[in-house]
C-alpha cells in the first residue's frame, strides 16, 4: 500500500497508519450519520465506569444506601413494640424576668 | 482543518476547585454528544487493532478507569478526546511491550533482538493489506494514507503534495467518512 523510502517493517508501518487515521478521526468535522446504537454502547460503558468510580471514591464515613434502609426499618419496627420508660430529656430552664 | 467541538472540552470547562478529578472527568464525559461518542468508539477500534485479539471496548473501559480513578491526570490545555486517546495509546504500548518480552523469553536464553511478536507482524501485514484492498478503487485515498503515515514516521519523502490541495481535501473527507461510518473497521481482520 505505502511506498516508504527506508522500508520500515509491517508493524511500524501499521502503527504509523493507525496514528494517522486516529488523528484524522479526531480532527474530522461532525459525523453526519450516527448509529444511535453505537453511540449508546459507548455511553453505557462510560456510565458503568463513572458509577463504579464514584462508589470507589466515597468517603469512609458514608453509609451505603442499603444500610440506611435497614436502619430505617429497625426504627420503624421499634415504634410498634412496647419500649421501657425512657428518662426525660434534660430541659433548658425558661427565661424568667 | 476544521476542529471538532469535542476538541474544545478542556479540564477548565468542568473543573471545580472543590471537587475531585473523578467528578471533573465524569462531568466532561457526560457532556459528550452522540457524535463525540462515535468518535471515541472509532479511535478505540483503531488503537485496539494494534494488538491482535484486543477488543476496543476492553481498551476503552481500561482507559476510562484510569482517567476516572485519577491514576492519569487530565492536564490543562489537553482536549478530552486527546486525553483518553493518549491513555489508550500508552495502554496498547504497554501491552505490546509485554507481548514482546514474553516472546523473547520463550524464544531464547541470551540475546534476542527486540522485535514485535510474529503474530503481531502478521496481523499488521494483514491490516495494511485490508486497507489497500478496501481503497483499491480510490488511489488518492491510498496516497493520502501513505503520506499521513510517513509524516508520523518522520519520512522526508511525502507523496501528498503530488495530489494537490483540492484532491487531498476530498480524499481526506472520503477517508474520514469511511472510518466514522465504521466501514473500514468491518473490513479489518
What's the confidence (pLDDT) of residue B70?
86
Nearest to B159 by CA among B149, B147, B170: B147
Is A50 within 8 Å of B157 when comparing Cβ atoms?
no
A41-86, pLDDT tens digit by residue? 999 999 999 999 888 765 545 545 544 445 445 555 555 555 556 6
State the residue range of the domain holding A18.
10-67
Q: Is residue A81 part of a domain?
A: no
Answer positive or negative: Cα dihedral of A50, A56, A60, A63. Answer: positive
> A92 CA to chain B: closest CA distance, Å?
39
List chain B residues with CB under 8 Å of A25: 39, 42-43, 46, 176, 179-180
Nearest to A1 by CA among B46, B143, B172: B143
Is A14 within 8 Å of B127 when comparing Cβ atoms?
yes
How many domains does one find in chain A? 1
Q: Is residue A93 part of a domain?
A: no
Q: Is residue A49 part of a domain?
A: yes
Q: Is residue A53 part of a domain?
A: yes
Is B64 within 8 Å of A49 when comparing Cβ atoms?
yes
By Cβ distance, the residue of B26, B35, B64 closest to A31 is: B35
Q: Is residue A82 part of a domain?
A: no
Q: Is residue A22 part of a domain?
A: yes
Q: Is residue A28 part of a domain?
A: yes
Please report, for chain B, the start and end positions of each structural domain, with discontinuous segments joined by +: 5-107, 118-187
Q: Residues 6 or more apart from B163 whose CB is under 8 A from it?
A: B140, B143, B144, B171
For range B134-140, the mean pLDDT: 93
pTM: 0.74
Q: Is residue A32 part of a domain?
A: yes
A9–chain B Cβ distance below 8 A for any pair: yes
B14-45, pLDDT tens digit by residue? 666 556 688 889 999 999 988 889 999 999 99
Neighbour-count burial of A6, counting CB atoms closer than 10 A to its CB (0-12 exposed, 13-18 middle, 19+ buried):
exposed
Nearest to A45 by CA among B180, B94, B56: B56
B49–chain A Cβ distance below 8 A for any pair: yes
Amino acid at each position: 500500500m505505502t511506498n516508504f523510502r527506508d522500508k520500515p517493517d509491517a508493524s511500524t508501518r501499521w502503527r504509523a497508519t493507525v496514528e494517522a487515521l486516529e488523528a484524522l478521526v479526531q480532527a474530522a468535522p461532525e459525523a453526519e450519520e450516527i448509529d444511535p446504537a453505537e453511540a449508546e454502547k459507548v455511553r453505557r460503558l462510560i456510565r458503568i465506569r463513572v458509577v463504579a468510580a464514584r462508589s470507589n471514591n466515597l468517603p469512609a464515613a458514608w453509609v451505603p444506601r442499603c444500610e440506611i434502609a435497614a436502619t430505617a426499618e429497625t426504627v420503624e419496627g421499634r415504634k410498634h413494640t412496647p419500649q421501657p420508660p425512657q428518662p426525660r430529656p434534660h430541659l433548658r430552664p425558661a427565661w424568667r424576668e | 482543518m476544521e476542529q471538532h467541538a469535542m476538541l474544545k472540552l478542556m479540564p477548565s470547562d468542568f473543573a471545580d476547585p472543590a471537587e475531585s478529578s473523578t467528578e471533573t472527568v465524569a462531568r466532561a464525559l457526560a457532556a459528550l454528544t452522540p457524535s463525540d461518542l462515535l468518535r471515541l468508539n472509532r479511535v478505540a477500534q483503531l488503537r485496539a487493532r494494534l494488538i491482535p485479539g484486543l477488543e476496543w471496548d476492553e481498551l476503552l473501559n481500561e482507559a476510562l478507569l484510569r482517567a476516572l480513578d485519577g491514576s492519569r491526570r487530565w492536564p490543562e490545555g489537553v482536549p478530552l478526546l486527546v486525553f483518553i486517546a493518549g491513555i489508550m495509546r500508552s495502554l496498547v504500548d504497554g501491552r505490546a511491550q509485554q507481548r514482546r518480552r514474553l516472546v523473547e523469553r520463550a524464544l531464547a536464553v541470551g540475546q534476542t533482538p527486540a522485535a514485535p511478536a510474529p503474530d503481531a507482524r502478521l496481523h499488521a501485514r494483514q491490516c495494511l493489506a485490508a486497507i489497500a484492498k478496501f481503497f483499491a478503487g480510490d488511489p488518492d485515498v491510498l496516497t493520502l494514507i501513505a503520506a499521513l503515515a510517513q509524516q508520523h514516521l518522520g519520512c522526508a519523502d511525502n507523496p501528498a503534495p503530488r495530489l494537490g490541495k483540492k484532491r487531498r481535501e476530498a480524499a481526506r473527507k472520503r477517508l474520514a467518512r469511511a472510518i466514522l461510518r465504521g466501514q473500514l473497521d468491518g473490513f479489518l481482520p
